[in-house]
Structure formats: structure tokens, C-alpha cells
Amino acid sequence: MTEKTRGRLTTRTLAMPADTNPAGDIFGGWVLSQMDIAAGICAGQRAQGRVVTVSVDSMSFIRPVKVGDVLGVYTEVAKAGRTSMQIHVEAWVRRDRIGQREKVTEALFKFVSIDESGKPTPIPEEKDLPSYVKEGMESDF
Ligand SMILES: CC(C)(COP(=O)(O)OP(=O)(O)OC[C@H]1O[C@@H](n2cnc3c(N)ncnc32)[C@H](O)[C@@H]1OP(=O)(O)O)[C@@H](O)C(=O)NCCC(=O)NCCS
């Protein structure tokens, strides 16, 4: 497969029979939830604190996910604002755990960094981030 993943592998899980729709494929809401979890990890590390999802844009379901597929979610900070961050998210599957790897979804999530009272709070400058957060540290999480 020539297509390349974008971002860092943030979560990996197995699609289970409990996550199916009536047709027997994996329910889109489950995939979206896995993407939100991974994007939340990425945004929380960029913000170095609590974050909330504020919007999801350009969500594309490209191919179905099947029971037994390994789902890997890749995330990347696409843009950092004052209190908000855009997180590019891709979900890939490895069919039946061992087969070919295919991109199944992608989307742009927006998160806002919030304080203890739920109010938006500025995110740190990139230079002040711990090294594990900085791009290029592929082996770390
Ligand atoms: C996210 C939230 C704290 C923003 O509060 P707010 O008073 O609108 O905040 P502000 O107007 O000061 O905007 C803060 C930032 O969020 C962005 N933002 C706010 N609402 C947005 C929206 N609907 N879409 C995209 N971005 C938005 C602003 O552009 C701003 O970004 P910047 O600081 O990088 O320039 C508030 O809308 C909220 O709590 N929403 C619910 C989030 C939630 O519970 N998510 C989980 C759903 S189950």
C-alpha cells in the first residue's frame, strides 16, 4: 500500500462484535469515539492539561471497519490557536489483525484547553513543551 499515515500512532484497539451495526459492520459512532479519544490524548498533551472537544470537521468514512480488525488511530496537531487546537486524525485498520493496512476514516477535530472551572485557558508555547510531546518523537507516547 503506497498511502502513508500522517501523525503519531496514538491508540490501538480491536473491533469487537459488540461494536457492530445491524448490518454486521462496525458502527460509525464507535470509530468516531475512538478518534475522539485519541485526539483528546494528543490535544491534552499539547495543552498540558484538561481539554474538551468543541467541533469535528471534514469527517470522512472511507472504508468499513469489520469485526476482528485492529484499529490504529494517528493524530497530529495541525494548528494551535490561543486556547484551541486543530487535531488531524486518521484511523487505519489491519484487516483481521494480520492483513493489509487500510485508511478507514479521517477528520479534523478542534479542542479547547480549559481550566478547573471549564473556562478556556491559553495553551503553552511549543518551546515550553516536554520533549515527549514534540513532533518526531515517534517511539514515545
Ligand atoms: C469549548 C468551550 C469551553 C468554549 O467556550 P467559549 O466561551 O465559546 O470560548 P471562547 O469564545 O473564549 O473561545 C475559545 C476558543 O474556542 C474556539 N471556539 C469556541 N467555540 C467554537 C466552535 N463552536 N467551533 C470552533 N471553535 C470554537 C474559539 O475560536 C477560541 O479559540 P482560540 O482561543 O484558539 O482563538 C465551550 O463552548 C464548551 O464548554 N463547550 C462544550 C464542550 C464539551 O463539553 N465537549 C464535549 C461534548 S460531549
At 135 the pLDDT is 66
Q: Could you report the per-residue pLDDT of 56-112, keeping only the tens digit for each?
A: 999 999 999 999 999 999 999 999 999 999 999 999 999 999 999 999 999 999 999
Q: Closest residue (by CA) to atom 40 of ligand 1?
A: 54
Domain with residues 8-124, CATH architecture: Roll (3.10)
CA of 120 to the centre of ligand 1 (A): 7
How would you list the strands of the sheet with 70-80, edge to edge? Answer: 8-14, 70-80, 84-94, 101-113, 51-61
Closest-CA residue to 129 (of 11, 51, 40, 44)? 44
* Domain spans, the chain: 8-124
pTM: 0.95
CA of 93 to the centre of ligand 1 (A): 31
8 Å CB contact between 93 and 100:
no
Q: Give the position, in ligand 1's atom list, of the atom nearest the Cα of 85.
A: 34
> What is the pLDDT confidence band of residue 140, given thresholds at 50, 70 and 90?
low
Q: Could you report the per-residue pLDDT of 16-33, keeping only the tens digit for each?
A: 999 999 999 999 999 999
Q: Could you report the per-residue pLDDT of 2-12, keeping only the tens digit for each?
A: 789 999 999 99
CA distance 28 to 43: 22
- How many DSSP H helices and E strands does the chain contain? 1, 5
